[in-house]
Amino acid sequence: MGRVLYDLAGADPALRFSPFCWRIRMALAHKDLEVEAIPWRFTEKDRIAFSGQGLVPVLVDGDRTLHDSWAIAEYLEAAYPHRPSLFGGPEAQAVTRFVNGWTDSVLHPWIARMVVRDILDCIRPEDAGYFRESRETRFGMTLEQFVAAREETLPEFRRALQPLRLALRGQSFLAGEAPAHADYIVFGAFMWARSVSPFRLLEADDPVHAWRGRMLGLFDGLAAGAPGHDLQAQGSGAAR
């Protein structure tokens, strides 16, 4: 039996923009596990109803069905112990949960404020109503209000990345000299932004910018080759 990932897609089925799905795309590549990442849209709840819930990523691995990006990462680590470790041991796995918690509760709300309006331009017209309504309810403001505020709040967003800068001061990746799941969790948020928005989040001299560049190049450019905006070129001031 094959391995299938239900992966959030835009109107263009090649555009994959879920930060949670990107965590798993990178984790599967880290473990050198093949996967068919099939496009799935917000409103196609029926297609993943077999998973017992309505959100992606959903991973079908042989006869196992899994959902929730953290649970999937734990599953992959346990099910494929002889492949490269996603964490580097139980203590590292535990501390990575803090990175996961920071990403979910701090980084994602910030990225959402920066790019959520741009998602409207990337998804199918029939999904736009669901998207606008669910997000405006969640955030308590219109998507257009986010756009109006983002230039003003950009400096505060960049300050919120300071824990990343301090961690990267002494090492190339959050997990040390080689990347691991802590990196994929944070990187998923930047892939979300890159996939849907031309808005420039990072300055070219930001250590987070350099780290993102290293992440884009991993696994033969898995992420760099995905449809999205050329943020590295933007950041460096090069021609697009």
- The Cα 229–Cα 116 span in angstroms is 15
- CA atoms of 118 and 188, how far apart (whole Å): 17
Shortest reach from residue 101's CB to a second copy, in Å: 3
Please say whether the dihedral angle defined by the alpha carbons of residues 106, 115, 229 and 7, taken in this order, is positive or negative.
positive
Task: Report the residue number, 55 or 120, with the smaller CB distance to a second copy.
Answer: 55
218: contact with a second copy by CB under 8 A? no
Q: Which of these segments, 15-23, 91-99, 123-131, 187-195, binds a second copy (CB under 8 A)?
A: 91-99
Determine contact, residues 4/36, Cβ cutoff 8 Å: yes
Residues 177-216 that bind a second copy (CB under 8 A): 177, 180, 182
79: nearest Cα among 96, 63, 56, 100: 63
Answer yes or no whether residue 69 interacts with a second copy by CB under 8 A: no
Cα 213 from Cα 7, distance rounded (Å): 23
Site string for a second copy, 121-160 (x = CB under 8 A): ----------------------------------------
Looking at 52-60, 96-104, 188-196, 229-237, which segment touches a second copy (CB under 8 A)? 96-104
Q: According to CB under 8 A, which one of 18, 96, 197, 234 is a site residue for a second copy?
A: 96
Of positions 84, 101, 129, 217, contacts a second copy by CB under 8 A: 101
Comparing CB distances to a second copy, the nearer of 142 and 162 is 162
Distance CA 29, CA 25 (A): 6
Torsion angle of C-alpha atoms 18, 116, 157, 99, degrees rounded to 10:
-20
Q: Given candidates 13, 39, 54, 176, which one binds a second copy under the rule CB under 8 A?
A: 176
Residue 31, both tokens: 């473990």
Residue type, 4: V
Contacting residue, 163, 207, 213, 227, with a second copy by CB under 8 A: 163
Single residue of 106, 128, 147, 222 touching a second copy by CB under 8 A: 106
Q: Of 4 and 95, which has the nearer Cβ to a second copy? A: 95
Evaluate whether 239 touches 233 at the Cβ level (below 8 Å). Answer: yes
> How far is Cα 113 from Cα 145, in angstroms, rounded to an integer?
9
Instruction: Give the nearest distance from C-beta 223 to a second copy in angstroms.
Output: 20
Among 167, 191, 196, 223, binds a second copy (CB under 8 A): 167
Q: Count how many residues are written for the chain.
A: 240
Residue 48 contacts residue 56 (beta carbons within 8 Å)? yes
Which residues would be at the binding site for a second copy (CB under 8 A)? 85, 87-102, 104-106, 162-167, 170-171, 173-177, 180, 182
